[in-house]
Amino acid sequence: MAERWQQWMPFHIDRWRGSMHVQSMRAAARIGYLYLLAAAWQSDDCSLSDDDEELQIRAALDDEEWRENSAAILRRFTKGEDGRLVNVVLLSEWKRAEEKFKTNQARAEATNRKRATNAGRTPHEREAHALTGTGTLTGTSTETEKTFASTADAVPAASRVSPDRGALLDTLPLNDGTHYEVREDDLARDNPLYPGVDVPQAYRAMKAYLLANPRRTKTRGGIRRFMNNWLSRSQDTARSVAVPARPDAAMGSVRACSARDEAAEAEEEAARREAALSYWREMKAMGRPIYAREAPRWVREALECVVSSQLPVLSCFQTDN
């Protein structure tokens, strides 16, 4: 029975199409050659038995096709010391795939063992395991304290967390089952950086979010980054309303804005009127007074006193008498 990793086989298209040996084969020979490569890949040692009848069956060719193409196909195989047929290129790929599969399998087994071990630990034991890198804590409390002490000695003084961080304000759940303690030093650091945010309320919102979304809990090393990102977004969405110091100052600014708006509107209106007058002057110069009927009244008054007097007056009714 072939292993799971032997259910697929790498196929180098460029190498296959660029091989002169493959291109010189007939179509039936190429099919038989590919079938034999697949059979070798799913064997225990990537080899084939040197039995003519068995090879024909594995190649899926009839008697006549096998007689005509067996020589061209078997030319790509070599006979090993045990008398079995091996394709050198395929064997190299086979060994590489087997080694990769075993490496991934060992990593998966180690991860499963770690998860199974952590499942039986309390949060305190998980935290101790993360700090010491040892197995389950089965010793006495004195031995545990010694282990913590030796670990603390091994960690450089610059990377230690000061135990005096102030009073406990809240806790944030972490992905290893432990909790990050939010203390007064966190508040003292975050309050000046995010003045538009109610920082204690933001801590409570973070906790509620992490409790409702356990898959999004953070590591101990990444929890501060999560807190800073949360507070930064809250600061960006905060809106501050500016209240003027004196009502009269606010009214003065409103009047100034209104005066500027009126001046701009007056300039725009003057420009529009000048453009309209220019257009109707051109129409009059071209001798097309009929357009004067469409002109506004102020345009007609500006161009001449009575525009309609220049328009031809046609009688709607004509009689033969």
pLDDT (tens place) for every residue of the chain, 321 residues total: 678 888 888 888 888 888 888 888 999 999 999 999 999 999 988 999 989 899 989 999 999 999 999 999 998 899 888 889 999 899 888 899 988 888 998 899 888 888 877 776 666 666 666 555 554 444 444 444 444 444 444 444 444 445 578 888 999 999 998 999 999 889 988 988 888 899 999 999 999 999 999 999 999 999 999 999 999 888 888 754 444 555 555 555 556 666 777 888 888 778 777 877 777 777 777 776 555 556 677 777 777 654 444 444 433 434 444
Q: Give exposure, 88-105, as e/b (b: 16+ Cβ within 10 Å).
A: eebbebbeebeeeeeeee
212 membership: H or E segment, kind and range? helix 199-212
- Identify whether the C-beta of residue 194 lies closer than 8 Å to the C-beta of residue 235: yes
- Identify whether the C-beta of residue 231 lies closer than 8 Å to the C-beta of residue 193: yes
| Sign of torsion over alpha carbons 119, 121, 127, 131 | negative
> Across-strand partners of 183?
168
What is the amino acid identity at position 14?
A: D
pLDDT value for 60: 92
pLDDT value for 276: 76
pLDDT value for 242: 43
Q: Identify the CA nearest to 86 among candidates 121, 116, 50, 115.
A: 50
Residue 32 backbone phi and psi in degrees, to 5 = -65, -40
What token pair was written down for 105? 């399998």
CA distance linking residue 18 with residue 12, whole number of Å: 10
pLDDT value for 117: 78
pTM: 0.39
- Identify whether the C-beta of residue 254 lies closer than 8 Å to the C-beta of residue 246: no
Residues 6+ apart with CB under 8 A from 134: 147
pLDDT value for 135: 47
